[in-house]
Every structure is written in C-alpha cells, then in structure tokens.
Structure 1
Amino acid sequence: MNTLLMPLPPRSASQALLLTLLIGFISAMLCQWINTPLPWMIGPLFSTAAARMAGAELRCPVQVREAGQWAIGTALGLYFTPPVLRVLVSYSGFILAGVLFALLLGLVCGWILHKLSGTDRTTAFFAMAVGGASEMATQGERHGAMVDRVAAAHSLRIMMVVGIIPFLFKFSGVQGEDIYVPGARVVNYGGLMLLVLLTAACALLLKRRKLPNAWVIGPLLVTIALTSSSLNLSALPEWVVHFGQLFIGISLGTRFTPEFLHTAPRYLASVAICGLLAMAIAASFAFGLAAVSGMHPATAVLATSPGGIAEMSLTAKTLQLGVPIVTAFHVTRMAALVLTIGPLYRLAQRVKTNRRS
C-alpha cells in the first residue's frame, strides 16, 4: 500500500527535455490557431514557465537554446543586403543615441529598484542594466551582486516585454510595410548546408573566446558578410525559424523555477514596476526618435525597447517593421553594454564615494 503513495521517480534528462518540447510545441500550435503574435515563442515561453512554476520537471539544455539562437541570428543576417547597409550608415547617429539612452535608462531604473525594494545598489544596478541575463549576472557576480536576484530580474523583464509589446502592436493593428526583404528567398539545400557550417564555425569560435550571445552574433556576422557581398547561399526553411523561436521560448520559460514566486516577493514586485516604467520611458524616447529620424514609430519602439535581440527582431520580422534597423540597434546596444558595464559601475561607485566625502 505504501508503495502506491511513494513519489514517482525523477525523469531522466531526455524525458524531461521531450516533455518540455512537447508542451512547447502544443502551446505554439494553440497560439498559432488563436492567432497570437509570435506564437512559436510566446506559447512555449508562457506554457513552460507556468508548468515549471507548478512543479513540472522540465529541462532545456544550453545546446537547445544555442540552436534557437543560431536559427534567429542566421535568419536576421539575411536581411543585410548592400542597400540596407547604406541605410544603416545613415542611421548611425540615431543608433548611438539609442545606446546612450539604454545606458542611462539602466542607471535610472537601477536607482528606482534600489529605493523600491531595499535591495543593495550593486544588485539593483546589474538587475536593471538593459543586457542579457547571463552576461549581467556574470558581471554582477564579479562586483558582489546577488546573482540569483540579477538573473531573476532579467528573466522577468524579458518575459514582460515579450508578453506586452507584441500584443499591444497586434491588437492596436500595427503593421508595417517593410521595404527590407532577405537577400536569399529560395531554399537551396546545398547552399544551406554550407551556410550551416560557416555560421556554426563562427559561433563556436566566438564561444571559445567567451564572447556574449555567440550563437546569435556569430551566425549574424557570417550571414551579414555573405548577404552584403551578394553571396546568397540559401534562405532558411520556415520550419527552422519556427523551431528556433520554440527553442528560445522554452529556454526562457524553464528559468522560472517553483521557488521563483516565493523568493523576495517585494523585490519581484519592484522589478515588475521598474520593467513597466522602463517600457514607458523607452516608448516615449522612441516616439521622439521616430519624429527626428523619420523611421516608423513602431520600429523605433522595438529598436529602443528593453528587450532582447532575438525577441524584438522577431517581432519586427513578424510585423514587417524594419528588421535590420531593430537588429542593428539591439546588437550595438548589447556590445556597448558588455564593454562598458564594468567601467560604468566603477564610475558610479566613485561618484557615490565623492559625494559622501
């Protein structure tokens, strides 16, 4: 009798991964059926997050996330034709303004998070920096931040951005008429195999050198180099892009553990408030940028939003809103943030010390 009441044995890693993929796939199909924005990412993200917080034993190995990043990085790079690069050069000043704005936004929201939640300034600083979760957690750890809180803040921020901005655009009827189209529009399987080899090799090289987002940036750089040289090896099959989104969705969703909601509720609530505030401030900046630059306001919102490269660029691709512009803004911001976040933190510490003295 007692044996019937014993808990089920834990699933193997492969079983947990298969369950995760099954939940993600079913939810993606459901979201596609009800016509949500970004169904292949939003469905897997929210379904696996809910299942994970409910106690389901789910798993997403880093290799799955990297496969998703590869698909998105390669798909985005195909948009960077020679005419597009000429347009981006004309936007270089606005891209620089967007980077400076992102740095300032992180500083302001970090200060607000510190005041609202009572968490230490270092943790708040790295939690609100508009960068990737893993990179900011690593940088924060070097300077004494609470790594779990930094990672939780970035996971919640990305989830909020993905769950709010695409839906707002979808239900407000925002739809662009993007003049930018991929250089390669036909799938050539011989060319596709060569493209896979070249992009994967670059990603592995960047990862070995411990550069951030290697499986997005590596394929992106290779496909930009090829496409800008009018070497169009192959388009990506649509199912590859769909599964890339699914893999990114489950990699984000499985970060939300059963303990997530029970850890520092005041801190998480403060992060949510700061996330909403950051989106509102970024949107205000975006409308001003659009008025000055002439870009579509929705494109400017995606380009300056506190979201990730893949998520915001995919939204732009789905809604036909300036994919290369959005990608260029986010890639430049990410690179600048990784290079400057350490010196920026030390500068902030010196300013605080000088004020006290």
Structure 2
Amino acid sequence: MSIVGKSIRMVPKSQALTCLLAAVGGAVFAVLNLPLPWMLGAMAFTLVAAMLKVPVQAPEKLRPYTVAVIGVMLGSGFTTQTFDHIPQWSLSLMFLSICVALQASVVGLFYVKAGQMRPVTALFSAMPGGVVEMMEIGKRYGGDERTIVLIHAARIVLVIAMIAFWFRVVLGHDVSGVAPLGKGHSTLTDLAILFACGVIGSIAGLGLSLPAPTFLGPMVLSAAVHMLGWTTGSPPVWLIICAQVLLGSIVGGRFVGVAPRFVLKAFGLSAVATVMMLAIAIGLAQALHGVLQQTPEQILLAYAPGGLTEMSLVSLSMGADVAFIATHHLFRVILLLSIAGSLLAWIAGLLTKTRPALDP
C-alpha cells in the first residue's frame, strides 16, 4: 500500500466527518453572506454537532500546520516600514497593559459575584489569553481546570462572533473572511520561500521554546523575508479558507463530551464577560485614537481579548493593519505569560489561604 493510502487510512472517520461538517458549515455561512463565514460556520456547525452528541473529533494534530499557514500569512503583512512605527506603538502597548488589567479585574469580580466561582478559578478564567498556562497554574492552586478551559474557549468563540457582528452590522464593514493578502498572485519562487518560512520557522520556534512556536516562528521568519524584500507573495486564497475551516472545527470541537447544561452556563457567563471586555476596549479605542493616531477600529481589533491566532485571521479578513494588530496581540500574550508564573501565582497563593474550599 502506498504511503498516501496509509496516511488516509490513519485519519479517524470521526475527524474526517468533523472536517466535512466544518466545510459544509463554512460554505453555508458563505452562501448566506454572514461575517467571517469559513471560520464561524465551521465553528458553529462543529459546536452544535458536539452538543447533539454527533461523533465529531477536532483534528488537533492538524493545528500546528494550520497555525503555521496563518503565521506565514501574517508575516506577509509586514513591510520595510513596520519598524519605523514601533516608537509610535509603544504608547499604545502601554495602554494595552492597562486595558488587560481593567478587563481582568472587572471580569474576575463578575465571575466571583455572578458566577459564584471560587476566586482562584475566577482569577485564571478572567485573564484574556494564555489558556494552557492559566489552566495549569490555576489547577495547581486548586482552581477548577474544566471551568477555566471552557470559559476561555467560550471567550474565543464569542469575541470572534461579536467582533464580526460589530464590524459588519454596526460599522458596515465588509467581513468576507478571505484575507485581502491572499488575493494577489504569487510566483512559484514566492510560494517556495513561504513554504520554507513555514517549515524552518516551525522548527526554530520549537527549538527556541517560543510560546505558540509553530505560529510565531513562521510569522517572524515570514515578516523578515518580506521586510528584506525577498518576496511580496502570500498564501493563496484556497489555503487561507482551509486554515479558517480547520481552525473553526478545532475551536468548536473543544466542547465535545461536555454536558450541554455546563456549556450553556459557561457561554452565558462568558457572553456577559466578553461584552464587558469589549466595552472596555471600545471605550479606550474611542478615547485614545486621537492620541495614538490610529482609527478606533484598529485599536479595537488590537485590544479585543480574542485568541492570538484567531484575532490575526479576523484582522486579515478585515483588511486591517496586520503588523499593528499582530504586534499588540503578541505583546498581550507575552505579558500574560510573563506574569502567570509570578504575579498571578502569588495572588492565587493569597486567595488559596483565604478561601480553601474547592469549586462545586
């Protein structure tokens, strides 16, 4: 039997079903002209199937390849002028730190009061990023890891949906879901360079133990070759669509095996919390856009508490300043990772001493 045949046989039927279901969901949303159709459609169909106990299984093993494509795609948005803007962005990054602190404080208090969560669980559920780290450290200090993971997963889903709705319905922007960067024509040489960025960048990211290594490695390398002028190419549209469908199925598939009642409760709490976080981001965007010399829309996309990979796709789909937004989301992730093992762990230790009981 050929290697290809063996590889196909090794793909579980449940994963094949999930990918097919996700593709159908994306196509349906695209036909209905809904915002971010390929990602949100895949996410919605997979999530509903999981709740209905359809035997779906998220293709998690494909995630490194998916995020590598997105990383290369993001790098395509960097130019030789990017670093000329870094001094201007430093003030915006400082305000982003304040935004993160405000969002976490307000939402953490909401989870304790309205969600009746234990403070440790609320603390790590309220952080807008670093899902794995928040789960691990939160669990170490007695938090409910299932609640933390589910709240973060719901946050990512809801932020994407709400941002897409806001830009499409309220602001009237085109949110087609296909990044403008992928609309140009790339030569075989361009594609070869981009492929090398994905492979070498992933290996380097893993070797350097970067956060999200198969995403950041390709993104940094792709940004470098674009800023050096070696290529102006970007991944083709069909590959961008595939990446969105796979990512949507992976996010939706995280709810497999979770009781619908628990999911609905998590989504209810997370919906209110997400509105609070976005309200803070919108308020800062309106207040600071003159000082930061950016449009309110740009600042909102940069300050929105979505996942690094997912928000990168959203910004690409909206034709936003990729470098500005990606830099801010990367900064937010690094900020949260840097305080997760020190400041947050110290706060969790204090909370554990005062509230020893575990979550129900």
3-state secondary structure, aligned to 1:130: coil
Provide the rounded CA distance (Å) in 1 between the counterparts of 2:293 and 2:354.
41
Q: Retained in 2: the 8 A contact 1:28–1:44?
A: yes
Gaps of 5+ in 1: 1-11
Shift of 1:47: 0.7
The one-letter amino acid paired with 1:38 is: L
1:241 aligns with 2:240: yes
Partner of residue 138, structure 1: 136
Q: Retained in 2: the 8 A contact 1:184–1:232?
A: no
Provide the rounded CA distance (Å) in 2 between the counterparts of 1:81 and 1:125.
38
Q: Retained in 2: the 8 A contact 1:119–1:267?
A: no
Partner of residue 116, structure 2: 118
When structure 1 is superposed on structure 2, of 195-204 and 265-274 the one drifting more is: 265-274
Partner of residue 206, structure 1: 205
The one-letter amino acid paired with 2:331 is: T
Counterpart selection for 2:38 from 33, 37, 40: 40
TM-score normalised by structure 2 residue count: 0.86
Provide the rounded CA distance (Å) in 1 between the counterparts of 2:343 and 2:102.
10
3-state secondary structure, aligned to 1:278: helix
Counterpart selection for 2:59 from 58, 61, 68: 61
Structural RMSD (CA): 2.7
Partner of residue 252, structure 2: 253
* C-alpha spacing 1:144/1:207, structure 2 compared with 1 (3 Å): farther
* C-alpha spacing 1:308/1:267, structure 2 compared with 1 (3 Å): closer
Provide the rounded CA distance (Å) in 2 between the counterparts of 1:209 and 1:147.
28
Measured against aligned partners, the alpha-carbon deviations of 1:37-90 in whole angstroms (never above 9, x if no partner) come to: 211101101110011111011112322222221111111111110113212332
Q: Retained in 2: the 8 A contact 1:106–1:130?
A: yes
When structure 1 is superposed on structure 2, of 218-227 and 262-271 the one drifting more is: 262-271
Shift of 1:30: 1.5
Instruction: After TM superposition, list the pairs within 5 Å mapping 1:160-309 onto structure 2.
Output: 160-175=158-173, 185-208=184-207, 210-232=209-231, 234-263=233-262, 268-309=267-308
* C-alpha spacing 1:93/1:234, structure 2 compared with 1 (3 Å): same
Counterpart selection for 1:147 from 145, 148, 164: 145
3-state secondary structure, aligned to 2:270: helix
Measured against aligned partners, the alpha-carbon deviations of 1:182-222 in whole angstroms (never above 9, x if no partner) come to: 69953122442343233223223433554332222111111
When structure 1 is superposed on structure 2, of 193-202 and 124-133 the one drifting more is: 193-202
Measured against aligned partners, the alpha-carbon deviations of 1:82-104 in whole angstroms (never above 9, x if no partner) come to: 11321233212212221332133
Measured against aligned partners, the alpha-carbon deviations of 1:135-157 in whole angstroms (never above 9, x if no partner) come to: 32223233332111110000111
Provide the rounded CA distance (Å) in 2 between the counterparts of 1:354 and 1:18.
48
TM-score normalised by structure 1 residue count: 0.87
Q: Retained in 1: the 8 A contact 2:302–2:329?
A: yes
The one-letter amino acid paired with 1:100 is: I
The one-letter amino acid paired with 1:77 is: G
Provide the rounded CA distance (Å) in 2 between the counterparts of 1:24 and 1:80.
30
The one-letter amino acid paired with 1:105 is: Q
Q: Retained in 2: the 8 A contact 1:184–1:233?
A: no
Partner of residue 318, structure 1: 317
3-state secondary structure, aligned to 2:12: helix
* C-alpha spacing 1:128/1:212, structure 2 compared with 1 (3 Å): same
Provide the rounded CA distance (Å) in 2 between the counterparts of 1:311 and 1:42.
11
Provide the rounded CA distance (Å) in 2 between the counterparts of 1:92 and 1:184.
31
Provide the rounded CA distance (Å) in 1 between the counterparts of 2:331 and 2:80.
19
Number of aligned residue pairs: give it. Answer: 342
Gaps of 5+ in 2: 1-9, 175-179, 356-360
3-state secondary structure, aligned to 2:243: helix
* C-alpha spacing 1:63/1:189, structure 2 compared with 1 (3 Å): farther
Shift of 1:355: 10
3-state secondary structure, aligned to 1:17: helix
